[in-house]
Amino acid sequence: MQRLEIKINGIVQGVGFRPFVYSLACQLNLTGFIANRSDGVIVQIQGPQQAIEKFTALLSSQAPILSKPQIIYKNKIDIVDAEDSFIIKQSQTAGIRQVVVSADAAICQQCKTELLTASDRRFHYPFINCTNCGPRYTILADIPYDRVNTTMHKFKMCEPCQNEYDNPLNRRYHAQPNACRDCGPELWLCDNKNHKLSTNYPIAKAIELLENNYILAIKGLGGFHLAVRADNDKAIENLRNRKFRKAQAFALMVNDIETGSQLADISISERELLLSPVSPIVLCRKKDNSIISPLIAPHSRFQGLMLPYTPLHVLLMQGDYPALVMTSGNSSGEPIETDNSQVLAKLDTIADYFLMHNRDIFTCCDDSMVKVFDDKPMLLRRSRGFAPVPIALQSKSGKQILAFGADLKNTVSLAKDNQVYISQHIGDVENANAYDNMVQTVQKLQALVGLKPEIIVCDKHPSMMTTRYARQYDLPLIQVQHHHAHVAAVMGEHNLDGPVLALAADGLGFGDDENIWGCEFLLAKRDSFQRLGHLKSIGQPGGDKAAKQPWRMAVSYLLNTYGIPKGKELSRQYLKGVQAADINIVAEMIEKNINCPATSSLGRLFDAISALLGICIENSYQAQAAIELEYFAKDIPDSYQVNIVNKNDLAIIDPSNLIQQVITDLENNTPISIIAGKFHNYIADSSSGILCQLANKHNCSQIILAGGVFQNDILLTKTIDKLRNQKFQVYYNQKLPVNDGAISFGQIVVADAILTNTR
Ligand code: ZN
Ligand code: ZN
Ligand code: FE
């Protein structure tokens, strides 16, 4: 006989872990108990040694799919007499904050089977779930994760549901959103004037409407989607016009992997991601096909795909269409809609019909987006299914820290007890509603995590909304330079202390010299950095306006390279879609240096080239010019000659000779796909050249690539190849987006290091 005490943490709450342990102990005839602790569970187990060994082996290998148990210790303790069963001790955690809140999970196979079995009591019930699947974070208002603290509190379970909920051997034991048709949430369908359609099975009617090309707003897990069938040009055009979404690619929901495979190549890793409980949008290589409309993802090599991840989606995908566009239910720039009463007012000009339900969404979550790069998942948007699961960060300061990120692609992060809780994707907080969403998210996450911030962190940009908000706190404030935060996010994710050599390349970040930075070669540690090089600065005519109108940067580069008369002439010659008068105005701004802040942004150079090649002169969405330039780029070995100037101990890429080479190619009628290909090689050559040179000089073997520019697949691949050829270890964000979605996490990493070193 033996008795063992096992302490387990990780994700073990609300994911069926306790009933799993209970049934395992019962099967093996062991006695003892399992009890919740603030940071996990304690198990005491007693019985013959062999059975105990079997128990500990199965504990990890057979754990429920959503759980991630980590055994902290296993200790032999004294045998307890007079114990005849194994029990689940009720939570005694009032007042103690549970550390890990689990994320929302896609419908599991067992629930899916019940959903489609005519004899099952939940046949076609669109809110079926169990301890392995269903809503979590999006319905949770407070902790502990009990039904009273979720938006399910208003539904009283019927007797059969309550029995399942109370039975430790049932797979719905303590499944907080447990419900059925008799006691749970219900669905209805209305038109855009809020007239309910009379039907006893709204899903059948919704399918019929989708089959007939109507646009439906559908309430999902983390918010509303706008859905339309994917094979009808007219319907897609309609959605694009109504949503003011001219060109940005749409993600699709397909019924299964087989259908998805007709639209895109799906690798084994991509398939795994699609089928995982996170069930994100996965960017797969598009295939030529005639199944879906060419208007879905024009000018993109990728097709975003996802599988039905709620029971409602499973039922809707039974319609007679190959795929559905499932795009966030919002008007341009706004956060995703979650509220029944507001959605009608906000989306009535976009959607024809609304499929609604009365299970409230407490916290909105967009669909997460992932691609597979170098055979590993690489997050592009970390939201539903990931948030708010923390990323471990060994804190040296031990302080509780709240970080506000940056204004675009905003996330906020909370650090406590060696974990960093990163919020769902919040969006661009320049939008008033997105800003409110940020403020609310901070409050909600603070409550869930039980964070009492001691330090506030934000960007150095003085006029960012996030900076201004952070300043309102009456707490010590640390402001982190934007590109240092990008680099630190990679260091934190990969557990690097530095010094590392890094390139952070993006659209903009406020520099230490008060100029706009965006292509920065840094020698970085967690708490500090030194700028060793950058792209040569140039005027950005109109400031923010230039980010929306890439042609402005083309004019700037042409004038800078050729002087005024010739630069203007070339602008008129190659920027065909731009009015001559507009070119003149911008040229004058540059000439007289009016509203032309200097920028070293690589994103803006991509803009200039894209405009110059006639690919995109005006962005209808963020980074369109760069994304389309990548789309047109041909994979060729040729490159442009690189000019690196060393000035005041800084290595500076001077792209004037690049512009000249591009113009020469244009004069010789070189196809734009070749020019775009050569340009990508030029950027990879110049970046990796400087990185290798500086890394050798400063004895760094580790190189970091960070910033939104590295969402560019071609550029990332080529740069990494060149660096690995020189035997460097290369790191970039994988668990977090390489774009500004990682900034709040990076800010935490920097602040924690600064606090440690100044103590
Ligand atoms: Zn399930
Ligand atoms: Zn029920
Ligand atoms: Fe950035």
Query: pTM (2 decimals)?
Result: 0.93
Q: What is the pLDDT of residues 235-258, one digit of tens each?
A: 999 999 999 999 999 999 999 999
Q: Which of 459, 363, 474, 441 is nearest to 403 (CA)?
A: 459
**Dist. CA 111 → ligand 1 center (Å):** 4
Task: Please tell me which residue, 64 or 590, carries the higher pLDDT value.
Answer: 590
Residue 178 is predicted with a pLDDT of 97
**Dist. CA 180 → ligand 1 center (Å):** 13
**Dist. CA 319 → ligand 2 center (Å):** 27
**Dist. CA 138 → ligand 2 center (Å):** 21
**Dist. CA 244 → ligand 1 center (Å):** 37
Q: Which ligand is nearest to the CA of 185?
A: 2
| Angstrom distance (rounded) from CA 673 to CA 636 | 10
For the chain, first and last CA: distance in Å?
Answer: 51
**Dist. CA 357 → ligand 3 center (Å):** 38
Range 586-593, long-range pairs (CB < 8 A, 24+ positions) = 586/541, 586/542, 586/552, 586/555, 586/556, 587/555, 587/559, 589/539, 589/541, 589/542, 590/539, 590/541, 590/555, 590/556, 590/559, 590/560, 591/559, 591/564, 593/539
pLDDT at 99 > cutoff 70: no
Q: Report the DSSP beta bridge partners of residue 46.
A: 3, 31
Residue 93 is predicted with a pLDDT of 53
Of 32-46, 121-135, 143-157, the least confident: 32-46
Residue 92 is predicted with a pLDDT of 60
Question: DSSP assignment, residue 130?
Answer: B
pLDDT at 29 > cutoff 90: yes
| Angstrom distance (rounded) from CA 349 to CA 331 | 10
pLDDT at 376 > cutoff 80: yes
Q: What percent of the chain has pLDDT over 90?
A: 88
Neighbours of ion ligand 3 (CB under 5 A): 506, 740
Average pLDDT rounded to a whole number, residues 721-733? 97
Model confidence at 311, pLDDT cuts 50, 70, 90, reads very high
Average pLDDT rounded to a whole number, residues 425-452? 94
Q: Which ligand is nearest to the CA of 482?
A: 3
Model confidence at 95, pLDDT cuts 50, 70, 90, reads very low
Q: Which ligand is nearest to the CA of 409?
A: 3
pLDDT at 271 > cutoff 60: yes
Give the containing element (helix H, strand E) for 324. Answer: strand 324-328
Residue 100 is predicted with a pLDDT of 62
Residue 314 is predicted with a pLDDT of 98
Residue 38 is predicted with a pLDDT of 65
Q: Which ligand is nearest to the CA of 184?
A: 2
Q: What percent of the chain has pLDDT over 70?
A: 98
Residue 604 is predicted with a pLDDT of 98
Residue 102 is predicted with a pLDDT of 84
Residue 385 is predicted with a pLDDT of 96
Intrachain domains 2-88 and 534-731 with the same fold:
no
Residue 331 is predicted with a pLDDT of 85
Place of tokens 């950058």: 534
- CA angle, residues 384, 385, 387, in degrees to nearest 5: 70
Domain 534-731 = CATH 3.30.420.40:
yes
Q: Which ligand is nearest to the CA of 128?
A: 1
Model confidence at 758, pLDDT cuts 50, 70, 90, reads confident
Q: Which ligand is nearest to the CA of 181?
A: 2
pLDDT at 98 > cutoff 80: no
Task: Please tell me which residue, 360 or 648, carries the higher pLDDT value.
Answer: 360
Q: Which ligand is nearest to the CA of 178?
A: 2
Pairing of strands 650-653, 644-647: antiparallel
**DSSP track, 492-511:** HHTT--S-EEEEEEEEEEE-
User: Is 518:507 a contact under the CB 8 Å cutoff?
Assistant: yes
CA distances from 689 to 502, 599, 696, 707, 720 (A): 12, 22, 11, 18, 12
Residue 91 is predicted with a pLDDT of 67
Residue 101 is predicted with a pLDDT of 75
Task: Please tell me which residue, 346 or 98, carries the higher pLDDT value.
Answer: 346
**Dist. CA 220 → ligand 2 center (Å):** 21
Element counts in the chain: helices (H) and strands (E): 23, 31
Q: Which ligand is nearest to the CA of 105?
A: 1
- CA angle, residues 184, 190, 193, in degrees to nearest 5: 135
Average pLDDT rounded to a whole number, residues 690-706? 97
**Dist. CA 188 → ligand 2 center (Å):** 18
Residue 94 is predicted with a pLDDT of 45
Q: Which of 532, 541, 535 is nearest to 518 (CA)?
A: 535
**Dist. CA 16 → ligand 1 center (Å):** 10
Class of domain 2-88: alpha beta
User: Is 592:565 a contact under the CB 8 Å cutoff?
Assistant: no
Question: DSSP assignment, residue 46?
Answer: E
Q: What is the domain partition of the chain in residue ranges?
A: 2-88, 187-357, 383-498+738-758, 534-731
Q: Which ligand is nearest to the CA of 113?
A: 1
Q: What is the pLDDT of residues 485-504, one digit of tens each?
A: 999 999 999 999 989 999 99
Q: What is the pLDDT of residues 603-616, one digit of tens each?
A: 999 999 999 999 99
Average pLDDT rounded to a whole number, residues 247-273? 97
Place of tokens 């940005």: 248
The CATH number that domain 187-357 falls under is: 3.90.870.40
Pairing of strands 281-286, 369-373: parallel
Q: What is the pLDDT of residues 502-540, one digit of tens each?
A: 999 999 999 999 999 999 999 999 999 999 999 999 999
Residue 15 is predicted with a pLDDT of 80
For 182, other C-beta atoms within 10 Å of its C-beta total 12
Q: Which ligand is nearest to the CA of 706?
A: 3
| Angstrom distance (rounded) from CA 220 to CA 42 | 36
CATH number, domain 383-498+738-758, options 1.10.490.10, 3.30.420.360, 2.40.50.140, 3.90.105.10: 3.30.420.360
pLDDT at 96 > cutoff 70: no
Q: Which of 734, 302, 689 is nearest to 501 (CA)?
A: 689
